[in-house]
Structure formats: structure tokens, C-alpha cells
Structure 1
Amino acid sequence: MFASARIRGTYGSHVTAKLALKTGRALTSNRDEVVLGHSPSESARLLADAVSTGVRECGGTVVRLGETAGPTVANGVRRLGGDVGVAVVAVDGRPERTSLKLFDGDGSPLSWKQQSEIVRRVNRSTADIASWEELGSERRWEDATAHHVDRLCKNRPTFSDTRVVVAVGEHETPVTVEALGRLGCEVNRLAGTGDDALPQGRISPDDDVCATLRRAVATSDADFGVAHDVDAERLVVVDERGELIEGNSLVALLARRAVRDAGRNACVAIPQGASRRIDDVVADAGGQISKPEAEQSSWPRPEGSANVVFGGDPNGVHQWPEESPCPDAALSAINLARLVDDGAALSEQLTDVPAYPFYCKSFGVDSLASEMIRVAADAKERFESVSTDGCVLGETGDAWFVVRPDRTEPALQVTAEGTSRRSAKQLFERVTSLVGDEQPAVTT
């Protein structure tokens, strides 16, 4: 239930108003002011009310932002000088996608160490309830979204002739639409497209997702289309032909631009299991690759590497350390628009990205730690070249694989890649046989 920088689970069974109340109490032990926002659903509003109640009954102050996405909450914490931020995310009709995202005072996701302390307090049987004369207060800040847009657009040149189709869920005032429009893009916002159109895992061109967005782009003169989840963290991109851009290729495009803008020796952070095509593109641009252990910190927060200019996960989460303390889909959309405005069409820019055959699959497990130990031992018996530093990595001539714990779910993620489709698929099938008995569906 407790994942990196968030509390998540199924609404009504795992994530309840009681748990939200206890979380509010836990956040107030050493943090006096909590900045709180929530997604548009009624269940999110209810959970946010419970968090606020918990904070105030322990003497803390709550600043309510209303219906806002996670990056807006993170921006608000930093802007207001709050002690902690909470973004309550719940999607009506998708109870399993409920979470309470936690941000530090600088707007960055809480580290595992910080979150462990919160978990310890949540699990306590008692709380430091304030007396009636010491109860906390609640106030509203109505300018959170406007300030977030201002910050995204500050000191940026406008676009000359860029057309974008945007599907951003059900937020009444979407930051992505507002920011792109202010910067000079011609924006067509699609109505009636909830975030259930987004893929639930890594993004593949063969995925039957975002169909409305893809049709809208293909039948218009738009330069590209974007969609993001209700929390405005994960971004999906469609090129000018209406074709979905695979997640690794998108990271490669954004990483190359970030390295070129920053100069040589700039560093890009990617997770273990990302495609080697990203390594190749970054190296050709004169940059370096860092692969921090996601399980030890709130990735992407690459530690000990001052030159990191971009962090990208193939599942659509991107971070720009110099511009935002947390992943922000609106910021990625802006940087993508700049890429298109300054250069060739996206489909043309993708031709320079190597196309290694790539397969991936996630397997749900009961215990991540014990399963990783078992898989590591089995892999060493079956493959000659295997390392186990935070994950299981191996190579077999012209193909290579990674098995690692998922960042947010109790699951193991298996990826395999190679110089040929045959070698990559054969290795993928060998490795997945170590993890699960059932033959997985192959994602290319």
C-alpha cells in the first residue's frame, strides 16, 4: 500500500477516510502547515476532507487548493512555504487507482526515509490530539493553478507556429492547456476524454489507447497531441500522423534535446530496464547516463550527480530537475512543443532513434524482496553473465535483460531487448519463465 512518495490502493478497502484521517494526524507531528489539493472526483474530495480533519485536530494548519493536480500542489507548497503537501488522487470508476501523494516543503516527493517515519506514525494506535482551544485552522488559496501556469511560462520564448491537440482528463482549469496557449500554441482541447484512455503500464505503439486523441491528430493539421493522467504526471504523446510514440523513444527525444541544450557531459537519469536506445542517443549527443536505484529514493531524484538535466521513465513520467522539483506533464508538453517548433516533425526526428526490439511485462508478487532473491539465484544458474546490484541484469551475446521491482506496485518488471527481434523475444521468454508460470502477453 505504501509506495514511493505516496499511499495508494483501492478506494473503500485499502484507502479509506479512516486511513486519510490517520495520515493527516501523522503529517502534523512535526509539520505545522499542510498544503492540500485533490482530483475532481467525489471520492478524492471526501479523502481530502478527512486529511484536513486529521491535520486540524492535531493542531496543524491546512491550506486548501481545491481541484488541482499533483504538480500544482508541489508548486503551491514551495510558493507558500508550507511544510508538506498532499495531493489526493482518485478516479471515479477506477477505485484501484486511489492515492495520497506526499511532497516535502521544497515541492519534491518525500524520500523513503521521510515516508517511513510517516508510516510509523500512521500505524501508531494513538495520536497527539489537540485540546479544543488549540485546534488547527483551514484556509483556501484560490490562485494555485494560475501561479503554476505563471511559473511554467516565466522567461520562456513563445512558439511561432505550433498546433497541439490536448486531452487532459476532467480538470476544469487544465494547466497544460493554459500554459501552451499562453506560450503561443494553437491548442485544441478534446472534451469527454478521461484518463482511463491512458495505458496502465509502459507505452507501446501497438497499444489500443488514446483512440480519440489519435484520430483527432491524424485528421487535423496538428503537429502533435498529448494526453496525461488525472494527476498530470504521466504523459502520452502522439506524432503528427496520429501514431503513438513508444515510451523509450519519447525519453530518447527529450533527453537528446536536454543534453544538447545543457552542453557536453550533461547527465540523464533513467531507470534500470529502460531501452539501450536511450543510452545510444544520449551518448551521441555528448551526454552521460545515470541509473539510480528507484527503490532507495523517489525516482527520478538522482543523487550525487549534479549534472543531471533530465530524468525519464518509459512509462511516461519525466522530470526536469532545474525547472521543477517533481514530475510535471505540463512541463514535458512545453519542452516537447519547443522541440517541434525548432525542428522537424516528430516522425522525422524519431528516425534518428535506434529501433532495438524491446519486450516488457510486469508480474504481480506477494513479496518483492523474497521474489527478487529467488529470481536472482535462478538467473545466475541459467545465464553466464548476471549482476544483481539492486536488480537482476544479464546478457546473452546480442540480447540483454533486466528484472527489477516496480516503483509503485507489488510487482516485478521484466524487460528484454536485442539487436534482432528473434534474439530479444527468445531471451524475454526465457527470463519470464523464471518469474511466472503463465506465459505473459508480449509488449513490443
Structure 2
Amino acid sequence: MARLFGTDGVRGLANGLLTAELALQLAQAAAVVLGHERAANGTRPRAVVARDPRASGEFIAAAVEAGLSSSGIDVYDAGVLPTPAAAYLIADLDADFGVMISASHNPAPDNGIKFFARGGQKLPDEVEDAIEAQLGKEPSRPVAGDVGRIQRFSDAEDRYIVHLLGTLPHRLEGLKVVLDCAHGAASGCSPQVFASAGAEVVVIGAEPDGLNINDGVGSTHLGPLKEAVVKHGADFGIAHDGDADRCLAVDHEGNEVDGDQIMAILALALKKSGKLKDDVLVATVMSNLGLKIALRDAGITLRETAVGDRYVLEAMRDGGFSLGGEQSGHVIFSDYATTGDGVLTGLQIAAQVAGTGRTLQDLARAMTKLPQLMINVKGVDKSRAATDVGVAAAVAAAEVELGDTGRVLLRPSGTEALVRVMVEAADMETATRICTELAGVVEDRLAIPRELAL
């Protein structure tokens, strides 16, 4: 049986895979695994529950809260909030754990359930496995006064906003910013915090109706933000995804500034201020080689991890590093957050523009993005990608040709029968040629025999 938990909680079609029954059972299982400790004074365990504005989040949140409270957990219902806000509030309230109901950048029909441990930390695999193993077992069934209570966490958003404002080194007067909230969880707090910090704010994608989250707006659809920035003559624009744990940006001319460029800007700023722990930035193997080159020239080491923000977080915790993230816009400031925070990232970008007097476009020139091409080779035996001698020889030859001006990455998909072939080079023509040649080798060498594929 396939593992229920994926790379970021349990996610799937709402009322398909993710039913009210499953949500209730997951909450009951989590109550046993995460809520077993009692406070010294005998009070009940506490959990924070938040969600993004998807319509399905309403019944899923109700099921989760019923499962927790019926298992003896006091529930603080924080309503619609970004994922990083939920993580922050778990720590701020000193709750035992928390639950975020969101499918992040996925379309509205999907939803997900993600658990956080005490302190707002993501769960390690073994704890998720323990929750999954608890499914189907007898849940905790306290009675009378031992059942949990559900209360509205009425000042949840205000606490989060105060926290965000406290991270700024100075105010943002003089800046004009366009915010695209993806009709998602940041629709209320992101415009409020930027305005409170002194910026002039233009807002798009901030009218969630439960069905329009990520629909043609947000970090996965930057077209509307680019148009709005140019139309309003803004200094730059910020795009969130549905649960606001991502941030991508657009400069004053409508050019995209991706997660790698954002990390370069912020790493250089933290190093200059002496706040970049050990002069290390943590990022995944998918980050552009241009980031590594820019950091090396500035005396900063790039620590690479497997793809996924959980692996970035693990490396940051293990080394005590202060900054990490992904090309997709997950940026983690360990001094202020336990997970990627798109609103926090946007504020820190704004602080750099305001503090230096330079445009975002100029700041983004800190790194030069090398041309990058990725081809998904389908219908192959991905298990042999790392061991096939023919594939290894072709990769080695490509790496010799590219030298220090490019790189090759072969990455088997975690969910499909395919291998991703990615090549970076000094020019797109070279990247295209080498990537196409390698994809052909992978297809020929790793082809699944027809009788097995049927």
C-alpha cells in the first residue's frame, strides 16, 4: 500500500481521496501521536488549526476539529491564514501541535492536511509514519469534562502581522508595491502588513470565493502581476501562492525575479550585515548554477540538498544556518520562521529596495541566470538511472564539455515512471543540444521492455 503522507502532508482531491471521514481519522490519530504529553498542571493538549480559503476547507476543518476535540485536544480555530502564520502561532501560543488545511499552489478542487509539531516544526517522516500507523486503531475517547473544547483564535492574524512587522529593519515609505495574493490565504494579511509598514499598495488576486484560488493569478501565473506593475508604475510586485509560503517577484519593467535571484539578494544582504550564519545559503540541486557562481564570488558557500523544502529545512536545522530556500520561491529565514514564508520574504525584499535605494532589477543582477532546459523522459525504468553505465558515460562526457560553464542533473520522478534531464550551459543552444542528446540516451538505455510496459 502506498504511503498516505507525501512530501508535504496528505494531499488530494477533496471528497475524493481527502474525505471528511479521512480528515476525522487523521485528526484522531494525530491526537494520539502528537497530543500524548500533558502539561505539568494537568491541562489538556492544545492545537492550532488554520486553512486557506478553499470551499472544501470548511468541511475538512470541521472534521479535523471534531476529531481533535473528541480526542481530548483543545482546539484554537485560527480561520483563514497562511501556512507560515499557522506555524508561527503554534510556537507563539506554545501549543502542542497544529494543523494546516491547504493544497498550496494546487487548483481549488484539491486540498491537503499538514501537521506541525510543537514550535511550528514540520514532522519528520517517522512521526508521519506513526500517525499513519495509528489510523484504524481505537482513538482516544475521553468523556464529560475531559473532551476538548473549540474556540476561535480571535487575534491570530494580528499576532502574525505584529511578528512580521517586527522583522523589518526600517519602514517602507516611498515604495509602491503590487501584491498578487492568488485569491488565497494571504488576501487579508499581506496587503495589511505592507500598508502598515508604510508602502503604497496595489492589490490584485485578493477576492477569494472558495473556488478561484490560484486560478490565473499568483506565483504560478505571473502575467497579471507583470501587467499591473507596469500599468501602475510600481517599484516592483510580489506574488504569493494559495497558502502564501512562496514568494516570487516582478521588477518595475515586468521582468520575473525568481527564487534563486531572491535568495542571492537576501544572502548578500545578510552577509553584509553579519547575519548569514557561517556565510552559508542552503538550496536544492535545482537552483541555477548562476546562483552558486554569484555566491562563490561573494565568499558565500551554497549547501545543496535534495528537491523539497523539507530537505532544505533539515539541512538548515542540522547546521544552524539562517537562510535557505528553493527556486520556486520557498524562502526560509530561520531567525524568524520555521517554514517558507512568502509574506515575510516579500517584506525583506522590500526592505532591501528601500534601504539601498536601488531598484529590484538592479539588485537581481547580483546573479546571472544560466540558460536551463529540462526534458521529462517518460516510460523508462527510473530505478536504473543512477546505475546504467551508458547513461553514466553520456553524463560524464557532457560534464567534460560543459566544464565550469554548466552542469547536468538527472533526477528520477518520485511519483511517475520518468526521469528528468536538466542541463545548464553558457547559452541556450548548447543547453538544448546536450539536453536533447542526453534525453535520447536515457530513453534508449532505460526503456521498459514492451512486454513489461503492457
Is the CA contact 1:3–1:408 (under 8 Å) kept in the aligned structure 2?
Answer: no
| Offset at residue 293 of structure 1 (A) | 3.7
CA distance in 1 between partners of 2:144 and 2:440 (Å): 60
Deviations 1:73-103 (A, max 9, x none): 1111111111111111158993554111221
Deviations 1:372-393 (A, max 9, x none): 4321123x42333869xxxxx9
3-state SS in 2 of match to 1:195:
coil
Is the CA contact 1:110–1:298 (under 8 Å) kept in the aligned structure 2?
Answer: no
Map 1:207-246 → 2, pairs under 5 A: 209-246=221-258
Is the CA contact 2:282–2:304 (under 8 Å) kept in the aligned structure 1?
Answer: yes
Is 1:142 paired with 2:154?
A: yes
CA distance in 1 between partners of 2:164 and 2:374 (Å): 34
Structure 1 counterpart of 2:425? 418
Is 1:347 paired with 2:361?
A: yes
3-state SS in 2 of match to 1:270:
strand
CA distance in 2 between partners of 1:371 and 1:115 (Å): 28
Is the CA contact 1:169–1:195 (under 8 Å) kept in the aligned structure 2?
Answer: yes
Is 1:94 paired with 2:107?
A: yes
Structure 1 counterpart of 2:189? 175
Cα 1:297/1:435, change in 2 over 3 Å: farther
Is the CA contact 2:52–2:102 (under 8 Å) kept in the aligned structure 1?
Answer: yes
Structure 2 counterpart of 1:401? 408
| Offset at residue 342 of structure 1 (A) | 2.5
Is the CA contact 2:305–2:311 (under 8 Å) kept in the aligned structure 1?
Answer: no
Q: Please, which moves more after superposition, 60-69 or 413-422?
A: 413-422
Is 1:15 paired with 2:6?
A: no
Paired amino acid for 1:255? A
Is 1:360 paired with 2:364?
A: no
| Offset at residue 328 of structure 1 (A) | 0.5
Map 1:151-170 → 2, pairs under 5 A: 151-154=163-166, 156=168, 157-170=170-183
| Offset at residue 434 of structure 1 (A) | 5.9
Structure 1 counterpart of 2:386? 376
Structure 2 counterpart of 1:442? none
Deviations 1:181-224 (A, max 9, x none): 111111111256742235787xxxxxxx3322111101222110
Deviations 1:375-424 (A, max 9, x none): 1123x42333869xxxxx98242142223366899975542211232221
Is the CA contact 1:5–1:102 (under 8 Å) kept in the aligned structure 2?
Answer: no
Cα 1:263/1:58, change in 2 over 3 Å: closer
| Offset at residue 145 of structure 1 (A) | 0.7
Cα 1:313/1:191, change in 2 over 3 Å: closer
Count of residue pairs the alignment pairs up:
419
Cα 1:406/1:166, change in 2 over 3 Å: farther
The normalised TM-score by structure 2 is: 0.83
Paired amino acid for 2:202? N
Is the CA contact 1:29–1:128 (under 8 Å) kept in the aligned structure 2?
Answer: yes
CA distance in 1 between partners of 2:20 and 2:105 (Å): 16
Q: Please, which moves more after superposition, 181-190 or 130-139?
A: 130-139
Map 1:3-42 → 2, pairs under 5 A: 3-30=6-33, 31=35, 32-42=45-55
CA distance in 2 between partners of 1:20 and 1:364 (Å): 34
Structure 2 counterpart of 1:120? 133
CA distance in 1 between partners of 2:369 and 2:309 (Å): 31
CA distance in 1 between partners of 2:415 and 2:250 (Å): 25
Cα 1:140/1:222, change in 2 over 3 Å: same
Cα 1:60/1:198, change in 2 over 3 Å: same
Structure 2 counterpart of 1:273? 286
Q: Please, which moves more after superposition, 287-296 or 313-322?
A: 287-296
CA distance in 2 between partners of 1:60 and 1:406 (Å): 38
3-state SS in 2 of match to 1:36:
strand
Cα 1:411/1:270, change in 2 over 3 Å: farther
CA distance in 2 between partners of 1:350 and 1:136 (Å): 50
CA distance in 1 between partners of 2:66 and 2:296 (Å): 51
Q: Please, which moves more after superposition, 254-263 or 43-52?
A: 254-263
Q: Which has the larger radius of gyration?
A: 2
Cα 1:216/1:403, change in 2 over 3 Å: same
Cα 1:8/1:149, change in 2 over 3 Å: same
The normalised TM-score by structure 1 is: 0.84
Higher share of residues assigned helix: 2
Cα 1:414/1:132, change in 2 over 3 Å: farther
Structure 2: 5+ residue stretches without partners: 36-44, 208-212, 445-454
Aligned residues: CA RMSD: 3.1
3-state SS in 2 of match to 1:360:
strand
Q: Please, which moves more after superposition, 403-412 or 322-331?
A: 403-412
Tell me the percent identity. Answer: 21
Paired amino acid for 2:12? G
